[in-house]
Amino acid sequence: MSNKDKLDRFRTLESSIVRQGCTSPKEADRLSARGRLQLLFDDCKYEEFGLLVKHRSTTFGMQNRDIAAEGVVTVFGKVGGRPVVAISEDYSSMAGTFGEYHGKKFIRAIDLALEVGCPVVTFNESAGLRLQEGIDALECYGALFRKVVEASGVIPQISLLMGSCFGGQAYYPVCQDFIIQVSEYGLLGIAGPEFVKQQTGEVVTAEKLGSERMHFSITGQSHFLAGYDKDAIDCLKLLLSYLPSSNRETSLRVELDTQIKSNQLFLDSILPEDTKRPFSMSSILDTVFDSPLLEVQAGFANNCIIGFGRLEGRVVGILANNSEHYYGVIDVDASDKMARFIRFCDAFNIPLISFHDCPGYMIGLDQESKGILRHGAKLLFAWAECTVPCIAVVVRKSYAGAHFGMLNKSIGADYVLAWPTAVVAPVGAKTATKFLFKATDSTDIEAYKEEYETPYKSAERGFIDGIILPSETRSSLVKILNFLENKKSTNKYSKEHSNCPT
């Protein structure tokens, strides 16, 4: 065979494989495996690797199966001018099933991202394990999970649920940092409806098992929600713009086109006189930061708010209580939500700012039976181990365990600010006097309030670094962040890792 024939043969083979990966699903607004990649990368350009990888199975008819690109497209390119590795499962190629070499392509892609120090993103749409390959495919799952854990905290890992993702396939995105779920057809679950029926007898639909209602609102396993493929990719690009490429870098600082916000005086009158009345914490955050924050897990544990924002162009992680939901109390779900976010920001050099207005951890039989102590302790571990700049702003209530759970000086804050409206105490005055004096005399209540339900006693002891007017919050945070920019932390004791409650 001449060189020309060899080149022609390769062109034909390559064209055939790529053509199969360009087959779009029947539904409107859904893209093919390669169509999604084109929409993601700058100028629709990327470099594919592993195109000719092929399975080695010869049982159950597999010797006659030609699976284009092993059901998964692996590429690299640039998104927003920065390198990104992407993995796109191809449902049109044997339903995107996970075989041994399908998994090996995943692992190779993560290795490449680790070597370069760039994010890895995956478009998940697969029917699950390729049963024809048996133990070879199953063992590759374990190798993939181990690789994901190895990459955790080193490079950002983001998954987009573009279709069904059931079985062992579902563990991969859940082990990553963020999941973007397409609400119209993205599904996630430990087992699909047919397998559930066969194993347990329970009859349930795929939508009930794995829809956005389940995972965006109830379990919190999905972090962002998107309508269709393009919306999910737009969300991914926005998220990437807040993240560094790896733990060796910091997030890109964006130069602001506008003057520093001039509406800060609005904050001086935002709190109601009645401390039991809720108010809009989101309005405070939108006023203080450059623009509305990119909220994470917005449909889950709404008694707290987490997300990414910018302060004079610098990316920060934001946590806040939300008194409009359960008075901002910290429960099991809020604990998990905030603790994981803290650990992510700490791993990727993103400073953290918390806004307190919390009456405490949720008490009672329901939360006790769900393990509020061990879930709540995750927050304590997360804050205590933090090495990035950590700043607390006490807006209103900061009671009991929530005083630590929302970040205070003793648990690890670098700087604590308080508004004059801050109420910092073990418990409320009425509760305290009832325990102290077995009664709730109004004179005792007022005396307790004067002594402890103000930020001044804490400031006297050095637990609060500064009491500021609400309208000074933004300017104070800018100065503190500038000062803490080069903060260095070292572990006092040598150890493998902490043993955080799970």
| Active-site annotation, residues | 167-168, 401-402
Query: How many Å apart are CA 50 and CA 106, to the nearest integer?
Result: 10
Structure tokens at 241: 């713009």
Query: How many Å apart are CA 499 and CA 381, to the nearest integer?
Result: 9
Query: How many Å apart are CA 127 and CA 189, to the nearest integer?
Result: 11
Tell how strand 72-79 and strand 82-89 pair up.
Answer: antiparallel
Q: How far separated are the first and last CA of the chain, in Å rounded?
A: 62
Tell how strand 72-79 and strand 390-399 pair up.
Answer: unpaired
Contact criterion met (CB below 8 Å) for 234 and 39: no
- The total of other beta-carbon atoms located within 10 Å of residue 221's CB is 19
**Residue 374 host element (H or E):** helix 372-384
Nearby residues of 201 by Cβ (< 8 Å), 6 or more positions away: none
Residue 157, beta-bridge partner list: 120
Query: How many Å apart are CA 12 and CA 10, to the nearest integer?
Result: 5
Query: How many Å apart are CA 13 and CA 54, to the nearest integer?
Result: 13
Nearby residues of 378 by Cβ (< 8 Å), 6 or more positions away: 335, 336, 339, 340, 500, 501, 502
Measured between alpha carbons, how far is residue 164 from residues 160, 182, 194, 461 in Å? 11, 10, 13, 56
Contact criterion met (CB below 8 Å) for 285 and 270: no
Contact criterion met (CB below 8 Å) for 188 and 215: yes
Query: How many Å apart are CA 158 and CA 71, to the nearest integer?
Result: 19
DSSP 330: B
Exposure of 248 in the CB half-sphere (CA atoms within 13 A) = 7
Contact criterion met (CB below 8 Å) for 197 and 82: no
Exposure of 267 in the CB half-sphere (CA atoms within 13 A) = 26
Contact criterion met (CB below 8 Å) for 322 and 281: yes
Query: How many Å apart are CA 144 and CA 168, to the nearest integer?
Result: 11
Q: Tell me the helices (H) and strands (E) count for the chain, helix number first.
A: 18, 16
Contact criterion met (CB below 8 Å) for 154 and 189: no
Identity of the amino acid at 225: L
